[in-house]
Structure 1
Amino acid sequence: MRNSSSYLAASAILMSCVVNIAAAAPPSAATLERGRYLMNGVVACANCHMARGPKGEYLMDKGLSGGMPFDDRMFKAYAPNITQDGETGIGRLTDAQLAKAIREGIRPDGSVIGPPMPIEFYRHISDDDLAAIIAVLKVEPAVRSAVPKSRFNFALPPAYGPPVMSVKAPSRADKVKYGEYLVAIGHCMECHTQRDQKGMLLMSSLGSGGRVFPGPWGESVSRNLTTHESGLKGWSDAQISKAVRAGVNRDGAPYKPPMAFQHYQNIDDADMAAITAYLRTLPPRPFGK
């Protein structure tokens, strides 16, 4: 007769191995495809995290190794290295740690991530979409590149809200709700909304634009996305789509960065229609107000 305690111990070890193997299983092709669509489309991770040259051009060989500066009256921030380098990137972080950093703005050491990382909006990323993005980050080639530490002229909040337990994306059948979801995870309002003296978003000015963004391109000013006459009132769906995906206004004049046109051009027609449907529900607000 076998020793029951030894048998139970052996069974526990076996089950542990099975769980570990399952946890280490590579992501599915569908998960990676979804993650790449999001990262190369509406979420546009590379728009901030791709290394750039002196004229703002992408340095493709350096991947998502960060370093892009963000000069604001309230902070001087640098996009971090999010490649798999273990020393200067995120190579040592677990999936759970990455999820908490992206969706809650909390690093593994407990410190809080500041702007312009749009944590207020990333809190809405669904569990499935977050897992897909992390799966792609995990296969990002490691690039060793140390990035300066960001500096803030105000105290960061202890947290951006309570811990996020679970999020499910709205049904695509509800075009407006799904469009609202895409606008949130695409952090459109991060640039198109004013900030207060503490650097926090003024939700009363949601979508009204007026933020100034200096860079190698000179200065650009975010547009009013509301239904106000200084915003999208009178614009057709096709004109809104062209502005977002091609980066030109109704007269064909090009917009300036940091709007991520090279990524937004990858947004598919169904998602673009949902985004437009949601923007048309924004209450009219005067430009920059």
Structure 2
Amino acid sequence: MSTAVRWLTLGAASLLMAVSPVHAQKAGSVERGKYLMQGVVACGNCHTPRGPQGEPLFDKGLSGGMVFDEPPFKAYAPNITPDLQTGIGKWTDAELARAIREGIRPDKTIIGPPMPVAFYRHLSDRDLAAIIAYLRAQPAVANEVPKSSYRITLPPDYGPPVKAVATPSPKDRVRYGKYLADIGHCMECHTPRDPQGMLQMKHVGAGGQVFNGPWGQSVARNLTPHESGLKPWTDAQIVAAIREGHDRQGQPYKPPMAFGFYKNISDADMAALVAYLRSLQPQPFALAKN
């Protein structure tokens, strides 16, 4: 398994977050932001601090500190609570939006991995505003997080400025399902990578990435409608795998799937995600090559 594969995926490590199911409400609202953050976007996977045994410390909110210590870098998830000194309290909404969707901080420095900026560029203006509203509503927690250090060259940017992105209509289930998969960066784990760690988008969804952690080793499964993927699965079995973290035989999956967050995805949104997965080009399982 290449190092690049690992450092772009560790940020999805599962946290079994105990929250009540919430439903999508008015776009741009705190309620919508809560639904996204505690559901498909699952920012708490990285930004919730952890204890000595890796246990999530929910009483410290989204105050960061989780470390990703890899050969190319040592990165720390930043404090994204509204604390004025150690968090995002002094950032404007526009600065927050640019950081999330374009990977550029207020001081113009580039945010490096494992932040999945390439996928967050798909966030609509209204959903981005909702996430920012949710972040503003969180308790400020003082937690000074070390700066990340990189032994790789970060890109000058992740593309041109992102403007005027609309949320697809939920009536178009496949398109809306793709939108949810994008902002949830599902394909960052479930698409194979080349030896340089780059996603092989011609094999999108074919699985094969290998993850090593305290749980041992897990391999991302094929999400395409191929015989080696989800073709033999019923919709109900797919939903149970995403929400509850077990296969068709009831055997539990290992991390990094964020089941504790995905269990809060509404039935309508889950149906859209399944419709999108069913629409993918069938691909045979593609085990990542080192």
Query: The TM-score by the shorter chain falls in which range?
Result: 0.7 to 0.9
Percent identity over paired residues: 66
**Paired amino acid for 2:29:** T
Distance 1:47 1:134 in 2: 17
Alignment of 1:205 with 2:203, yes or no, is yes
Q: Which residue of 1 aligns with 2:286?
A: 287
Distance 2:27 2:179 in 1: 24
> Which protein is richer in helix relative to its size?
1
Root-mean-square deviation over aligned CA pairs: 2.0
Structure 2 unaligned residues grouped into runs of 5+: 1-25
The answer to whether the Cα contact below 8 Å between 1:68 and 1:78 also exists between their aligned partners in 2 is: yes
The answer to whether the Cα contact below 8 Å between 1:195 and 1:202 also exists between their aligned partners in 2 is: yes
Tell me which of 215, 226, 233 is aligned to 1:228.
226
Question: Relative to 1, partners in 2 of residues 1:199 and 1:81: Cα closer, same or farther, differing over 3 Å?
Answer: farther
Secondary structure at the counterpart of residue 279 of structure 2: coil
Tell me which of 133, 136, 142 is aligned to 2:134.
136
How far off its partner does 1:230 sit?
Answer: 2.5
**Paired amino acid for 1:224:** N
Q: Which residue of 2 aligns with 1:4?
A: none
Distance 2:111 2:193 in 1: 17
How far off its partner does 1:67 sit?
Answer: 1.7
**Paired amino acid for 1:288:** L
Instruction: Pick which of 175-184 and 209-218 moved more.
Output: 209-218
Question: Relative to 1, partners in 2 of residues 1:193 and 1:87: Cα closer, same or farther, differing over 3 Å?
Answer: farther
How far off its partner does 1:200 sit?
Answer: 3.9
Cα-to-partner distance string for 1:123-181 (whole Å, 9 max, x where unaligned): 11111100000001011111122223333342111111110011001111111000000
Question: Relative to 1, partners in 2 of residues 1:205 and 1:67: Cα closer, same or farther, differing over 3 Å?
Answer: farther
Higher relative contact order (CA 8 A, sep 6+): 2
How far off its partner does 1:73 sit?
Answer: 5.2
Instruction: Pick which of 265-274 and 71-80 moved more.
Output: 71-80
Q: Which residue of 2 aligns with 1:35?
A: 33
Q: Which residue of 2 aligns with 1:190?
A: 188
The answer to whether the Cα contact below 8 Å between 1:172 and 1:178 also exists between their aligned partners in 2 is: yes
Instruction: Pick which of 158-167 and 68-77 moved more.
Output: 68-77
Secondary structure at the counterpart of residue 214 of structure 1: strand
Q: Which residue of 2 aligns with 1:124?
A: 122
Secondary structure at the counterpart of residue 206 of structure 2: coil
- Equivalenced residue count is 262
Structure 1 unaligned residues grouped into runs of 5+: 1-27
Q: Specify the structure having the higher radius of gyration (Cα).
A: 1
Secondary structure at the counterpart of residue 55 of structure 1: coil
Question: Relative to 1, partners in 2 of residues 1:192 and 1:59: Cα closer, same or farther, differing over 3 Å?
Answer: same
Instruction: Pick which of 201-210 and 33-42 moved more.
Output: 201-210
How far off its partner does 1:287 sit?
Answer: 2.5
**Paired amino acid for 2:109:** S
How far off its partner does 1:187 sit?
Answer: 0.9
Tell me which of 57, 60, 63 is aligned to 2:58.
60
Distance 1:194 1:29 in 2: 33
Q: Which residue of 2 aligns with 1:87?
A: 85
Distance 1:197 1:153 in 2: 18
Give the TM-score normalised by the residue count of structure 1.
0.84
Cα-to-partner distance string for 1:8-46 (whole Å, 9 max, x where unaligned): xxxxxxxxxxxxxxxxxxxx8971111100000111111
How far off its partner does 1:221 sit?
Answer: 2.4
Question: Relative to 1, partners in 2 of residues 1:222 and 1:151: Cα closer, same or farther, differing over 3 Å?
Answer: farther
The answer to whether the Cα contact below 8 Å between 2:122 and 2:179 also exists between their aligned partners in 1 is: yes
Q: Which residues of 2 match residues 214-253 of structure 1 at below 5 A?
A: 214-253=212-251
Question: Relative to 1, partners in 2 of residues 1:66 and 1:217: Cα closer, same or farther, differing over 3 Å?
Answer: farther
